[in-house]
Structure 1
């Protein structure tokens, strides 16, 4: 009897040991990778139990981002031929000549861009390429153009003359001299494609940070909502607010991301398609929704519009919220963010949240 009990004791101990070893080797693992891509530092953090599988998933996510970057690049490096055959460059070269067959993802981006042009009262227009080039954004020498040149370039900004043929999967700019610039959608769209690659690889928890474009999958490692800092547009390094985020995107457009200074004045890279000048209504706009590509479009459009118009548009959109800081330092946000936003603003700002 004692011998039988001893055998069961030994077997039980072995089983517990096996379970302990199994749990040990299944401890949560975090894998992080950073790359400079699409003119910004992109960081991808993923969580799982197998580092090799995590590494593979992140590699495929970056491959998707590189693919979208190659398709949409509008500013090839000087002295190189890199990306000169991008879909965007081919469309621009054939402006006023003939339609160009494009990749399905480029076609999808162009359809999205056209659909949100009217909703934003023309504040978002991907045919703004000639004006962007005139200002030198995307190159090494941004500068303030002559007013007459800005007016002349606006003749080529015309969303209605971007013609898409879904059956043929072609895009056509109807006037010679027109040019696309997908800078206000490509990074967000690429971020969303990267997240899809992670999901295909079985990733359940992840965070992608693409320079103001944030996309999270699931919760953080502790099972709680991700806490995302929104920068103070007036003080570098300070946090203005903290946003709780699950399975969503948060994309911020601000006058502090890309800009140049001339004559003691700051000129940001987000141009108003109606005036040809940098947008001047807001300091920072953060859009929260399920899709990073859509959030990228809306954050750019909303940065151009005044606060009241932004909140009016958001009321028409399901599953979209916004947090904005106006040029006169008012803080406003849509009702859907109540309970999800923690303000850390000081005396520099006025919380105008009476809505």
Structure 2
């Protein structure tokens, strides 16, 4: 899955003072777990009691882990029929999938249409080649090498979104090309965090924030505050911020190539692949999106990263989203600037 980072999720005052009392006796609680989407998930909430927070935290952990297993394309899990199994049965006819898998794939197809094909979950055959190259480099850095253009070009012939056939009534998905595979790294985490947020709201929880790698989803606001303060990291200087935004019932998602990469002959090659060149995109350092829906924010952040800066700003505006971009030369651009 795509790994992106936003720091400074918690209010500075809360970080300094720890558990604070709020209106109505609510206090700040926080906890974290690892395993969902291969990242550390931090859950922070204002609750009336530890028991109430424990319920919120357990629900978040359970549901995110379940969705992570359904959407994992690398590891099979016992008793789980998810994307791994769908990829394994490419070219073998329709496969019955879980409702959450169907929902994700329908959204992924919508993302393809919305972005004009820039975000394409059917690019798994190409992305898997780069994934294997990064894995090999991690094990034997001295043998790190780039994929061959021939292998990438051949794989690109099996990335047609039209070959992903969904039958909602039957609850089946089919990959008609036996050599195609899905990679949902551009959309899955945001989609999952959005769904968990909605589930928590249905359970009656009102003021909380979930930080899952580079995906931050907030609901409500801390007592007597305008919203949750989220720091956006400088992709060129770890630990430094380029901006801080305050959100209420919104999501903030950042895409960038500064964490997941490998090096060949002194050059870095990150994990966000341009569908036109089949190589890591070289248009900007990071793209951050702020909007009401975490799934859409995830999709848009990847799309913007793959566009030229001015094109990305215009596209973000057309989608009703705020965006903060860092160009290759370190310039910070904002959709709110004229």
TM-score by length of 1: 0.82
Partner-residue secondary structure (3-state), 1:38? helix
Contact 1:137 1:269 in 2 (8 A): no
Greater relative contact order (CA < 8 Å, ≥ 6 in sequence) = 2
* Residue 193 (structure 1) aligned to one of 167, 192, 195: 195
* Residue 97 (structure 1) aligned to one of 92, 102, 115: 92
CA distance, structure 1, for counterparts of residue 147 and residue 58 of structure 2: 41
Partner-residue secondary structure (3-state), 2:324? strand
Q: Residue in 2 aligned with 1:334?
A: 335
Q: Residue in 2 aligned with 1:128?
A: 123
Q: Residue in 1 aligned with 2:326?
A: 325
The Cα offsets for residues 40-92 of structure 1, whole Å up to 9 and x where unpaired, read as: 1110001111210110111011111011111110111xxxx536954211221
Q: Residue in 2 aligned with 1:40?
A: 39
Question: 1:169: Cα distance to partner?
Answer: 2.1
The Cα offsets for residues 112-171 of structure 1, whole Å up to 9 and x where unpaired, read as: 111221332321100111112111269732552112111111111111211111221221
CA distance, structure 2, for counterparts of residue 116 and residue 185 of structure 1: 9
Q: 1:1-355 to 2 correspondence within 5 Å?
A: 27-36=25-34, 37-76=36-75, 81-82=76-77, 85-136=80-131, 140-142=135-137, 144-318=146-320, 320-335=321-336, 353=337, 355=338
CA distance, structure 2, for counterparts of residue 200 and residue 31 of structure 1: 20
Question: 1:32: Cα distance to partner?
Answer: 1.2
CA distance, structure 1, for counterparts of residue 68 and residue 104 of structure 2: 13
Q: Residue in 2 aligned with 1:6?
A: none
Unpaired runs of 5+ residues, structure 2, are 1-20, 138-144
TM-score by length of 2: 0.86
Which structure is larger by alpha-carbon Rg, 1 or 2? 1
Contact 2:22 2:223 in 1 (8 A): no
Unpaired runs of 5+ residues, structure 1, are 1-22, 336-352
Cα distance change on mapping 1:83 and 1:186 into 2, 3 Å:
farther
* Count of residues in correspondence between the two structures: 310
Q: Residue in 2 aligned with 1:11?
A: none
Question: 1:222: Cα distance to partner?
Answer: 3.6
